[in-house]
Chains A and B, each alone.
Chain A
């Protein structure tokens, strides 16, 4: 369908603010006399605090407060602090330390469906190198840093369990007392069909093992927030988050406060990628302002802290067994996975399951079994990161299916095609039906873009030290979290006197461009140019409508539904008001180019501003036009896509260079091609890092991080990033607003296996572990006899 604004590359609504320095991020807001907080991190991966002496730190001039687990949640703040807070936190009362969960999921009324509560604001037992033991508030950062050094802690050091194998070993110490074998969860698995029979009837059974590493989000803006108590005795937190409503709830839970006592404000955010879909330090920041009588306290992590003391991506190990016929028909897929969740649960219970639940759409074979185990270790906490468990499982399976095709001497693309999903498939566990599926068209387009057949031919029988190859990989994903979690979104629209509107959202702009896409949707429905849709980008839990936040690639699809609903309501109110003025039936009217027009001919009836003016000022009929809607999306559209990659491998140096790479996506209708391509570029670039260079390294004996900075952690620079091709197969999804499906996370899923398969094509060496960094590659080539 043709639209006026939707489908056009209109420029970002926040572009001018961001190129002029006018866009304000969390740290750009300053309160007068803001104090600075710093965290004392455990130097041991696994240790119990035997004693802690803060007296010397407290007496350092300029230090305002030092708190440890002993002070929480029962902060000894000044009882002179006015406001109702005192009714809640009584100085004299003994309160049990509440354990809380930090994962950015909507609250569940069903206690069985909540995240694991295993965390305190400050720890008595350190579970990774970096665990927060105490915190200092001081007049400036220099004093705070000095004070940290004056805190005397005596630890009883326990064995550091830095691998899932060590953690699951019999007799290993427990990281969390109640978790036997250090297993957080075995949930998220599934089984369909008769596995034994399906394996039996297959011509061959193939097995493989695959492994991914720990990586970090590395959003450019650090983890930062500041907090104070306002005149009403409520805690106000300004923070760089994807999920203001969830931050509010978790801060309240962590301190045992009523949820209404907390207000969260989210300004512009300098990237999140899932790391800010978690509530890492806002509870501590809230506790710290309470500790200093409600004065403003800033808590900003350094880059070195941020890379290990927030969240990371789960490292996975997979074992895969498939039953396949000689023609490539797959009958059985059996995957077992071990997910390393680090020291605390965070999103750990859901990520392994999420990977499986998104994978199971792609190849609906007769029998499929997935059994994940999520294990605690004494490493930094793994949490949500773009793709949420899928880059791992797709790396494993899309590598495996390539190996299978090679063993059968079949075309790897044809093997995939033979087994791919199609429209009408009802996924048996979610009962969700695939309504649109462009995966085959994506493959066709990708093949053409990279000139697959020509290059496959050309790269046969290469010799010499420099070799080239091509590879590809597929993926399936989801648009939001339904049916696993609540998918509530909201939008509010106010019509101004001149016919322009304010659009207010609960979904957060974090760089992905959602504000622009929402403005386009509202503009389309209301017959306005985008410049007349004023998006209020900042979220404030006191003011913004309730939306669970930005994650799970849900904004365009789920929050877009709310925008569509809100705009349609305003439109129908405008047309009803026009009827009052013109006596023309509202159903015969439409909105176009800031005019009320006849629906059948497009002929103008009267300008929109006239209706707007009368809605404000008509002495009889005045009733300003607004809408304020929520939408509970109880549906999910499945996006698909592929990566095609061409690599050049230098056998002597182990250096892999990506020469060409194309991601082709079936994300339904593309609302803004330029922004959509931008999402693909960023996701593919992140995935190239995942495939070739990025890995957070730890000393295996002590759990100490070795490269938690942007110099030693190899984030791709502009020199390392090839030209990235983005293409779309646009099939309108019947459930999404304007036909959209999810796009934000999907670009990061399939590049790593595509690159790996291209390296296999070039060299004959199958890398079953990423990153394929020069050292690992060189060693593998030596082993394979290529050197």
Chain B
């Protein structure tokens, strides 16, 4: 069974008929060629397939394609500026060494992007909780956390007391 849906991916409009059994991940990867969304488990456990749907991160593997009707989707391919400049979050991931094999990276960048765009302040524990839906086997999450905090510069609550946090604050002071 097919259903006609309309949606945008990274600002580009699509109207097409999709198999009602298809996941958004399958639609993005196999039909539209947005291969930056990765498949790591297909059942919403690992977070590698995350995309933003109207600005909120979702596991696209357990989000039916038909539900995307009327939605604005952002994939990793749509994060950098049109002129090619990397976003603040992408730059932070590059600079902090948060990338190893790179398979979890697109999802983590998108979730971090959603945090930066929310305008909210986060404690370190909240940052971790927001990112806890993303599994990574290469980095031990150390530099990912640093990159996320760097992306959220100015939006990290001061109510946390850890050596890493203090270091972060000192770095922020140095830059000011």
Contacts and interface: CB of A to CB of B under 8 A. Distances in A.
B66 interface: no
Interface stretch (B1-9, B86-94, B115-123): B86-94
B58 to A, nearest CB: 17
A27 B26 CA distance: 12
Contacts of A718: 128, 131-132, 134, 136, 141, 144-145
A11 B62 CA distance: 34
A380 interface: no
Contacts of A715: 135, 137
Chief secondary structure at chain A's binding surface: loop
Interface residues of B, number: 55
B104 A220 contact: yes
Most B CB within 10 A of own CB, among A20, A221, A303, A512: A20
A303 B139 contact: no
B172 interface: no
Contacts of B30: 30
B41 to A, nearest CB: 4
Interface in A214-242: 217-222
A683 B139 CA distance: 8
A15 interface: yes
Contacts of B79: 20
Interface string B67-89: 00000000111011000001000
A17 B42 CA distance: 24
B94 A512 contact: no
A680 to B, nearest CB: 8
A269 B102 CA distance: 8
Contact of A710 (B21, B41, B163, B164): B41
Contact of A271 (B21, B93, B134, B138): B138
Contact of B99 (A18, A24, A723): A18
Interface string A262-283: 0000001111010000000000
A404 to B, nearest CB: 31
Given A19-B109, A718-B144, A221 B95 contact: no
Given A30-B30, A681-B140, A710 B99 contact: no
A221 B76 contact: no
A302 B97 contact: no
A484 interface: no
Nearest to A512: B100
A678 B138 contact: yes
Contacts of B105: 18-19
A220 B45 contact: no
A30 B34 CA distance: 12
B46 A710 contact: yes
A9 B164 contact: no
A20 B90 contact: yes
A721 B104 CA distance: 16
Contact of A678 (B48, B94, B103, B143): B143
Nearest to A302: B42
Contacts of A22: 36
A268 B136 CA distance: 16
B140 A221 contact: no
Nearest to B145: A718
A19 B101 contact: no
B84 to A, nearest CB: 9
A64 to B, nearest CB: 18
B39 A222 contact: yes
Contacts of A674: 97, 143
A220 B93 contact: no
B164 A723 contact: yes
A14 B136 CA distance: 18
A721 B145 CA distance: 11
B35 interface: yes
Interface string B18-43: 00010000000110001111111111
Interface residues of A, number: 57
Interface in A659-713: 674-675, 677-678, 681-686, 709-711
A724 interface: yes
A277 to B, nearest CB: 15
A513 B41 contact: no
B97 A220 contact: no
A723 B142 contact: yes
A270 B38 contact: yes
A20 B86 contact: yes
Nearest to A9: B97
B41 A709 contact: yes
Nearest to A660: B163
Contacts of B100: 271, 511-513, 678, 682
B152 to A, nearest CB: 15
B57 interface: no
Contacts of B103: 25, 219-221, 270-271, 511
Contacts of A719: 128-129, 132
A677 B143 CA distance: 9
Nearest to A681: B140
Interface in A301-337: 302-303
A543 interface: no
A601 interface: no
Nearest to B147: A19
Most A CB within 10 A of own CB, among B36, B94, B102, B129: B102
Nearest to B37: A21
B40 to A, nearest CB: 5
A261 interface: no
Contacts of A453: none
A23 interface: yes
Nearest to B91: A19
A303 B38 contact: no
The 9 closest A-B pairs by CB, nearest first: A21-B36, A511-B101, A685-B140, A270-B103, A18-B102, A681-B140, A21-B76, A710-B45, A28-B35
Given A19-B102, A270-B103, A717-B135, 8 more contacts: A14-B99, A22-B36, A218-B137, A220-B136, A270-B102, A674-B143, A718-B136, A718-B145
12 contacts: A18-B99, A25-B103, A27-B29, A221-B40, A270-B40, A271-B103, A271-B138, A681-B139, A681-B141, A681-B142, A685-B139, A686-B137
